[in-house]
Chain A
């Protein structure tokens, strides 16, 4: 009964989504306002029914209803309740449902938060969001219905993929999807503005908080995924240039560019076309990511449910969405003229460089990620593109980008007299270089050239981001959330840069064979293998090794990595053991029993890897703080017209 309720709820949600897009897009053409008034009801109804569908699927999981195929494939009677709930989005069908639910949440948020905006504009935004919802609901119902039954029902389920049986499953997909889908709001605002033909600064201003919030979630989602891969996959790295990682990273880069270009469009009315194209391509890339992950065309740890029919549906959807948006753009392009100029050292040009470099970085990744597919389709041979390509080509645009951040932050709009801000720029630079050299000499060495460079760039960014807030506090000026958020995000980027640089340059790793009681040395740490013992979990048995780590004769960690065997799927899983400190992680993963009492072990010392996640968290917090800035919340009573916006230019530096 419950799965059927869920199924019908999805169908009702689809009907409401159709109503939402019809009233939202066609309503503004009529003079009668009651068409517009119907839109929020459709939004609310769709939310209720998608939430109901989610609830039904969770209930089926909790009640072990193995007559539901999706449950039978992704749960088992031995699976703990926590994973049974999270298994909801453990595979393809459920994660689509999550996608739809998240889209519905964003739509509700836009409806509630936009009451001060012109009703016709809001209706159009909701109409576009409704169209996206229609597409995904159709997709789910036609090709990926999670509520399909099995007859006869199997006595027990096949269990959740052991790799996914981890706490992070509960948070990584929802967070990532919130970010992915959040980009649809920027897309919808851009489309609504184009349909309306009102491409002034207003739409950019309204879009900014949504884009920034979506970006913050995307940042958190990617960081969580990277952290999960680090401790779960047993390889010990935090980024593998895996196609699915790339699929989430490309929209992130474009969203970052979009945030900055929206600032220019909002403050100065420039870059209008560019901003529109970024809004379109940001969301297109997140759709493309879904296509890449879900169609199975790519070789990846994530592509567990591959189905060509699904791929074709998403591809067609992608073509319609991107094609439609670009047609709109071509139609409205003549309206996009801005006459304002700016100097080479103004904030506008720094943001222009920011955008160009970010887009180049995204393009480089795009090329590397899609090359295997293209080469395969054209019968040019099967090839793979790895870190050897991505690392150098990504650094090429990103190194100058990081250097320009610290300078650009201090430049003013329009004129940008850099001579006036020479002192903070040079002061922080000198300080950063001195610190970087001191850190290299004291803690590490100079064998890797990028190490001092990356350290200096990261420190410079973090220090430079502090200048403006400190200056404001000292002069007794107000400190708007937008500026705090911006500074935090840039400090986070600095911390992230420092972390990545040091991890990449100074990590020591070794695969080794150790007998019980034997030890080996990595840098200043000695790892001693104490032997193995059997261990058991709720649905697996394991061999647990014990490794003690000493530094300068003191014991610093006892690590207990496991080699697990999950009963249901009979699959082996390596569970690495990690001891985290602020300045280093010690990592041990078990290989296999080599005979003669020896085990193969993978040992790693990774300095400052915590800075990678920590930096990402700061960036995310910065995004949230900035996205919730009160300047974006217009008073309900104020008449909102295009002329209101230039007044905001007084805020000057706050981008």
Chain B
């Protein structure tokens, strides 16, 4: 092989590698990205059953129920219009409380209950995840109309 052809092969090989890596990354991205929905969207049936997503909103006041002595908790997430019941088994984050913003990750079960495998509340008293803040704001302004 002449040096020129060798370089051509090298460049083509590198390009093919990059293309494959890009395609695989895109594929991984498509199948692993999680979308955010607020309770209204969930109640309206915009989420495919069984698909993993993030649910965000306020923890409804008075909705937190715990089986005494067990790790299982139930609470409702609301956007002031609709609410979705959530079940979670595990340790809740420090800043989780009724009336505060929350984002939970998980799936809907057959009865329209959200089975969370992860509950996030961020490390700031005044913190509200931006997407939650926005969806709450929409909910309130729509209520006002």
| A interface list, Cβ under 8 A from B | 161, 163, 233-234, 296, 299, 301, 304, 341, 344, 349, 356, 360, 364, 367-368, 371, 381-386, 388-389, 392-393, 396-397, 511-513, 515, 569-574, 589, 591-592, 594-598, 600-602
Contact = CB atoms under 8 A, between A and B. Distances in A.
Interface size class of B (residues with CB under 8 A): 35 or more
Contact of A360 (B21, B29, B68, B129): B21
13 contacts: A299-B122, A367-B29, A381-B36, A383-B35, A389-B28, A389-B33, A392-B28, A393-B25, A513-B69, A595-B66, A595-B68, A596-B68, A600-B71
Interface of B: 3, 6-7, 10, 14, 17-18, 21, 24-25, 28-29, 32-36, 54, 66, 68-71, 89-92, 94-95, 122-125, 127, 129-131
A382 B131 contact: yes
Nearest to B35: A383
Main SS of the interface on chain A?
Answer: mixed
Given A161-B123, A393-B25, A234 B33 contact: no
Contact of B91 (A368, A592, A596): A592
Contact of A356 (B17, B34, B36, B89): B17
Contact of B130 (A299, A344, A393, A589): A299
Contact of B32 (A301, A344, A389): A389
Contacts of B25: 364, 367, 393, 396
B29 to A, nearest CB: 6
A233 B121 CA distance: 12
A598 B69 contact: yes
A344 B14 CA distance: 12
The list of the 4 closest CB pairs from A to B, nearest first, reads A591-B91, A382-B36, A388-B32, A596-B69
A304 B21 contact: no
A382 B70 contact: no
B70 to A, nearest CB: 6
A332 to B, nearest CB: 23
A371 B29 contact: yes
A349 B91 CA distance: 50
Contact of A595 (B24, B28, B69): B69
Contacts of A512: 71
Contacts of A296: 130
A301 B10 CA distance: 44
Question: Which of A161, A371, A592, A602 has the most chain B CB atoms inside 10 A of its CB?
Answer: A592
Contacts of B7: 341
B130 to A, nearest CB: 6
A385 B32 contact: yes
A396 B122 contact: no
Contacts of A368: 29
